[in-house]
Structure 1
Amino acid sequence: MSEDPDRLHLLYLTLQTLRDDMPVPDQLTESLKKLAIESWKRALDLRCQMPDASNPEWQILRTSHTAALIDSQADILSNLRPTPWIVMAPDRTLLWDGQEYRFGPGFTDNELPPSEVIETAREFATAGRGNAYWDGIAPVRLHPTPGNIESSSLASLRAQAIDCQMCELCKPATRTVSGEGNPKARIIFIGEQPGDQEDLHGRPFVGPAGQLFDSALREAGGNRAEMWITNAVKHFKFIPKRNRRIHQKPDAPEIKSCTPWLATERRVLSPEVTVILGVTAASAVLGRQVTVSRERSRPIPLEDGSIGLVTVHPSYLLRLPDEESKTREYTKFVNDLRMAISTLAG
């Protein structure tokens, strides 16, 4: 999706060289690499502008990127944010209503109120996948490498992670589920992996375990909007059973594959307190086998300078067989969260 005026000429020369079974000259190779890097950066920039799904209301993204680039990112943008949005550019309108996306020409909103922008975008963006022009457009993928990841910002991490193929979990999962919250958070919570609802909604901790976590966090005096919530593994691991997807525990290679994402996320956030929810997250953060009952409820100095605190994953509480056990363990869980929050006060 380069805008270089010589791009078609360079591609023609490349095809001609390959047709004649000749080696591609180094100078031509370098020029093509520059085009690829330029396109990669433009696609990343567009993705970084897309808000996450924490606010379910319509979001309007105004950009100067070309129609060709926007068209190539339609699938990716709807995976990044499953809830409704509009991308507005000088020569393209792209609308996603949560179910399907539609293309149309660009328009100038002239500071219209959001409701009128949405209505106008609906009128302009009428071409869908049934239109032959857009039906064959291949998405431009970023194919992140550990080197790309290590130098990323939080927005760039999320934008690249949607294309992560570092382990086999990316194939059956709907999408990569990145962390969310306050980028200036002093405390972060790390769980195991997205569940069924997280995979569908593109947000961490929004299913039954997430709802229990929110309740316990409020009871402990915390505010989710002030925290950062993430997982050690960014794809949902499951086995299909009839019309359900049954959670499966990530194995060691899958946890290791996700290490660059989590390590960079923690480095960029630089929290004072890291709350580790469950054995998978504890193994990922501490780099060793962990028994939660032995490590629980005590401060652990971490290599990044933060204080770690291990506790159970909220899904453990949902699996307890009787109300007495659930009440007892829920109280202990709230106390752990309260301890983590109070650590910030010194």
Structure 2
Amino acid sequence: MQSFNAKLCSPSDFLGWRSLSRDFLSRQVEASAVHWSIQETETLYAPQSERILPNASSPLKIPRFFGRLISSVFASAIPDRFDRLYRSLEHIQKYGEPSATDLKDFEQIAAEVRAQILRLRSTFPENRIADWQIIRTDCPPQLTDSQIGPLSRLRTAPWILLSDHRTLCWNGQDYRIGPAMTDADAPHADLVHQALQTATATRANAYWHELGTVHVTPTEENTREVQSLPHLRSLAVDCSFCDLCHHATCTVFGEGSETASILFVGEQPGDQEDLQGRPFVGPAGKLFDRALREAGGDRHEAWISNAVKHFKFVQKGNRRIHQKPGTTEMHACAPWISAERRLLRPRVTVMLGVTGASALLGRPVTVSRERSRLFKLDDDSIGLVTVHPSYLLRLPDENAKTREYIKFVADLRMAISALA
């Protein structure tokens, strides 16, 4: 029997494995004849590089759920995963469906990979910490590389991920990849400089295309089971509860103190929030911060969030125009804010605007009728409804703006005084 040497450029070479597998399957090469190995090329970490791979089209129709399992198994630490995955495709080619054994084994492996991914994501600091952050991990390179996309959405601010196998750098706009650092114990500033020198491969290097991203798609049940806010934030990265996820830059999760006694809930992220991955950082957010300070509060001691976690907009030229989220988006996003409240257990919840209030109270709300008074929520904590700070920005009359701003500060002061 003729044997075939299938050489991949790295443990993360999903594109190479898929291209070679398609070629072998199209020629009906048996798995026992294929010998998989990893052989790094000289240009693996070059800024840019071209690559020639077999261009056979897929001879199989793989169920979508099984395709997701394949990505997870590829990102696992199983030594013979290339061969096992090819054998699973060979079985589909012969019998038209995955084997029961493969399904059982792959689902177990995928669950373990999912747990590893969430642990890795939960080590990433919030976006409010804007300077370079260095994160260390012992995850295998194929797993960390599979998370480059999700991690850049989780933390849009700069980060460096170091392991014994890989150096990954994200500068806030693009990523670069390199081998492991030679001096990973240097001072922080030196580490940042050395990492940027070490991570030299860019998106223009074809050896790093299509790394087999593994998405940890959450369910409502997952949000009810999570036991920490960092874990919940890690899970929210791949939120697809509604169609807004397909157009927004990232999921904008809540931020602040995990021991906060007061929770502020707005409507949804705006343009700047979507780009920075943080709630309340645009014009309305700056007005909110100013009013909160005047009321005697501290943003860093509170938890700031939104009822809807993705930016809803329409594109007009180069501008993204805010659109009010509808009932569908509010209901779809409800599990996230419910989980945040369950984990925080705030003593006071301030609902900013009609969307935040309607989402938390589960009914239509008229802010003008219900604002500026304290009332009990279902869990016996205190609630307060007030306007969203964007309402103040939209007022055309300066005198009206001043009057409404004073009322807004008074509402925030009332909420803060309720903590006592």
Smaller-chain TM-score bracket = over 0.9
Residue identity matched to 1:294: R
Q: Does 1:57 align with 2:119?
A: no
Q: Contact between 1:267 and 1:304, CA under 8 Å: does it hold in 2? A: no
After TM superposition, the structure 1 stretch with the greater mean CA deviation from structure 2, 133-142 or 1-10, is: 1-10
Identity of aligned residues (%): 56
SS across alignment from 1:229: strand
Question: What residue number does 1:68 align with?
Answer: 142
Q: Contact between 2:88 and 2:98, CA under 8 Å: does it hold in 1? A: yes
SS across alignment from 1:93: strand
Question: What residue number does 1:80 align with?
Answer: 154
CA RMSD of aligned residues (A): 1.3
After TM superposition, the structure 1 stretch with the greater mean CA deviation from structure 2, 167-176 or 324-333, is: 167-176
Q: Does 1:175 align with 2:250?
A: yes
* Aligned mates of 1:62, 1:161 — CA distance in 2: 22
Aligned length: 345
Question: What residue number does 2:202 align with?
Answer: 128
Q: List runs of 5+ in structure 1 lacking aligned partners.
A: none
Residue identity matched to 1:162: V
Q: Does 1:163 align with 2:238?
A: yes
Q: Contact between 2:89 and 2:98, CA under 8 Å: does it hold in 1? A: no
* Aligned mates of 2:97, 2:210 — CA distance in 1: 30
After TM superposition, the structure 1 stretch with the greater mean CA deviation from structure 2, 60-69 or 194-203, is: 60-69
Q: Does 1:118 align with 2:192?
A: yes
Deviations 1:194-218 (A, max 9, x none): 0011001000000000000000000
2:294 to 219, 225, 231: 219
2:116 to 42, 51, 54: 42
After TM superposition, the structure 1 stretch with the greater mean CA deviation from structure 2, 129-138 or 222-231, is: 129-138
Q: Does 1:334 align with 2:409?
A: yes
* Aligned mates of 2:371, 2:94 — CA distance in 1: 67
SS across alignment from 1:20: helix
The offset of 1:281, in angstroms, is: 0.6
Q: Contact between 2:184 and 2:191, CA under 8 Å: does it hold in 1? A: no
Q: Contact between 2:223 and 2:335, CA under 8 Å: does it hold in 1? A: yes
Q: Contact between 2:223 and 2:232, CA under 8 Å: does it hold in 1? A: yes
The alignment's TM-score, normalised by the length of structure 1, stands at: 0.97
Residue identity matched to 1:34: Q
Residue identity matched to 2:411: D
Query: Is the radius of gyration larger for structure 1 or structure 2?
Result: 2
Q: Contact between 1:317 and 1:329, CA under 8 Å: does it hold in 2? A: yes
Deviations 1:32-75 (A, max 9, x none): 11111111111211111111110111100011111111111111
Q: Contact between 1:90 and 1:108, CA under 8 Å: does it hold in 2? A: no
Question: What residue number does 2:224 align with?
Answer: 150
Question: What residue number does 1:290 align with?
Answer: 365
Question: What residue number does 1:27 align with?
Answer: 101
The offset of 1:315, in angstroms, is: 0.3
* Aligned mates of 2:82, 2:294 — CA distance in 1: 61
**Structure-2 change in CA distance of 1:108 and 1:62 (3 Å):** farther
SS across alignment from 2:202: coil
The offset of 1:22, in angstroms, is: 5.7
* Aligned mates of 2:208, 2:122 — CA distance in 1: 23
**Structure-2 change in CA distance of 1:109 and 1:186 (3 Å):** farther
* Aligned mates of 1:235, 1:159 — CA distance in 2: 15
Question: What residue number does 2:419 align with?
Answer: 344
Q: Contact between 1:300 and 1:307, CA under 8 Å: does it hold in 2? A: yes
The alignment's TM-score, normalised by the length of structure 2, stands at: 0.80
Q: List runs of 5+ in structure 2 lacking aligned partners.
A: 1-74
Residue identity matched to 1:63: T
Deviations 1:156-195 (A, max 9, x none): 2211212111111111111110000000000000000000
SS across alignment from 2:95: coil
Residue identity matched to 2:177: F
Residue identity matched to 1:268: L
1:12 to 75, 86, 103: 86
* Aligned mates of 1:305, 1:179 — CA distance in 2: 22
Counterparts of residues 309-324 of structure 1 (less than 5 Å): 309-324=384-399
* Aligned mates of 2:208, 2:100 — CA distance in 1: 34
Q: Contact between 1:10 and 1:32, CA under 8 Å: does it hold in 2? A: no
